[in-house]
């Protein structure tokens, strides 16, 4: 389930197209894959989008469902700074994919500061050096984002002139 934030509390984005456009981008990205769904849960809620609030709501809707929160290692290393990190870990298993630029020791050190940090699971995935900020920068400067995002997303970004530029797809 992809849940775009209404107001990301920790990560302001330059040239942010806004929550409704980010919701549309998520919908376009997964429209042909029934394994994924998109929720507007955070967009409908006022104020900053705190993960703990989202997990609370998801848990109340389906209390017998095991929740996994998938993040990159860089995000996991910042967990102690989140709102109610212990509660986050009590509501969902944190699934961490290591990313270039954040070593495992840094992640382990950060998670050791949070009760429940042992509930984290690391998983392997191909190391692909693509970041959302690099994709936004390419779109902003008119460079192609093709092959970095689904074709439908590249077309949507281009059609709507998102991120301050027009890519060549």
Walk me through the domains of the chain, giving residue ranges and CATH numbers: 19-164 (3.40.50.620)
The whole-number pLDDT of residue 34 equals 96
pLDDT band at 166 (very low <50, low <70, confident <90, very high): low
- How far apart CA 160 and CA 139 sit, in angstroms, is 11
Q: What is the pLDDT of residues 57-111, one digit of tens each?
A: 999 999 999 999 999 999 999 999 999 999 999 999 999 998 778 889 999 999 9
Q: Report the predicted TM-score, pTM, of the whole model to 2 decimal places.
A: 0.85
Structure token pair of residue 147 = 């092959």
C-alpha–C-alpha distance, residues 33 and 14, integer Å = 29
Calpha distance 57→92 (Å, rounded): 12
Pairing, β 121-123 against β 93-97 = parallel
2: β partners: 38
Under the banding of pLDDT at 50, 70 and 90, the label for residue 21 is very high
């Amino acid at each position: 389930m992809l849940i775009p934030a209404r107001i990301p509390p920790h990560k302001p984005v330059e040239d942010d197209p806004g929550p409704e456009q980010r919701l549309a981008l998520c919908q376009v990205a997964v429209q042909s894959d029934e394994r994924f769904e998109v929720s507007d849960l955070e967009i409908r809620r006022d104020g900053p989008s705190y993960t703990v609030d989202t997990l609370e709501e998801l848990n109340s809707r389906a209390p017998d469902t095991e929740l996994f929160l998938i993040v990159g290692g860089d995000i996991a290393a910042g967990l102690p700074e989140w709102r109610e990190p212990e509660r986050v870990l009590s509501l969902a298993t944190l699934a961490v994919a290591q990313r270039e630029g954040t070593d495992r020791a840094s992640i382990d050190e950060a998670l050791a500061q949070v009760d429940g940090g042992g509930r984290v699971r690391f998983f392997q995935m191909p190391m692909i050096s693509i970041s959302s900020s690099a994709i936004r920068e390419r779109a902003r400067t008119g460079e192609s984002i093709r092959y970095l995002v689904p074709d439908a997303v590249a077309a949507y970004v281009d059609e709507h002139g998102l991120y301050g530029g027009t890519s060549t797809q």
